[in-house]
């Protein structure tokens, strides 16, 4: 299985530190898919573009609709809505809608003049994120370095995030 790769660009002044991180929650979540059969009690999250802070439990077995529903942004615990033949019940986002979690995270830089410090791994009940701080005091202005984060998930797959760090 191919690993997930994310890229971002950021700039910093020479000698300053930039804090950056990756939110791997979408890679870990059991996202609801269109035209898919779900068993009763299956727990899913809306796709990333429709995040509501809630996950949804299938009240009955059935197939979701072909078109993306309007996931309720006003959801309250216990609120319901229909998606094709499935009636979903809202509950606060939890680990129940995660298919995997981050078990390890490593950071590296393309040049030894880039210092990486303050790394962190944040596995919460509803989010899977990593963070770090990087900086360079000796790099010439205009230099761009790759700062790479590699995570290993509980299912054995990996994800890679690359920050292109440009010194201004």
The tokens for 93 are 């986002």
What number of other Cβ atoms are within 10 A of residue 140's Cβ?
Answer: 9
168 residues of the chain, pLDDT tens digit each: 445 566 666 666 666 777 777 788 888 888 899 999 999 999 999 876 566 778 999 999 999 999 988 887 666 889 898 999 999 999 988 888 989 988 988 888 888 878 787 777 877 767 777 766 666 666 677 788 888 888 999 999 998 988 887 877
Indicate the burial class of 66 (C-beta count within 10 angstroms; 0-12, 13-18, 19 or more).
exposed
Q: Which of 10, 5, 14, 6 is nearest to 167 (CA)?
A: 14
Domains of the chain: 4-27+100-167 (2.60.40.10), 30-97 (no CATH)
């Amino acid at each position: 299985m191919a690993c997930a790769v994310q890229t971002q660009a950021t700039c910093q002044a020479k000698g300053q530190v930039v804090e950056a991180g990756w939110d791997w929650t979408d890679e870990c979540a059991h996202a609801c898919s269109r035209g898919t059969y779900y068993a009763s009690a299956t727990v899913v999250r809306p796709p990333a573009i429709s995040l509501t802070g809630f996950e949804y439990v299938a009240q009955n077995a059935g197939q979701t609709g072909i078109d993306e529903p309007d996931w309720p942004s006003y959801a309250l615990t216990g609120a319901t809505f229909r998606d094709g033949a499935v009636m979903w019940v809202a509950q606060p986002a939890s680990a129940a809608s995660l298919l995997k979690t981050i078990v390890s995270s490593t950071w590296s830089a393309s040049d030894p003049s880039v210092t990486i410090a303050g790394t962190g791994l944040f596995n919460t009940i509803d989010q899977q994120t990593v963070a770090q701080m990087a900086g360079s005091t000796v790099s010439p202005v205009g230099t761009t370095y790759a700062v790479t984060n590699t995570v290993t998930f509980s299912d054995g797959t990996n994800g890679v995030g690359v920050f292109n760090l440009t010194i201004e």
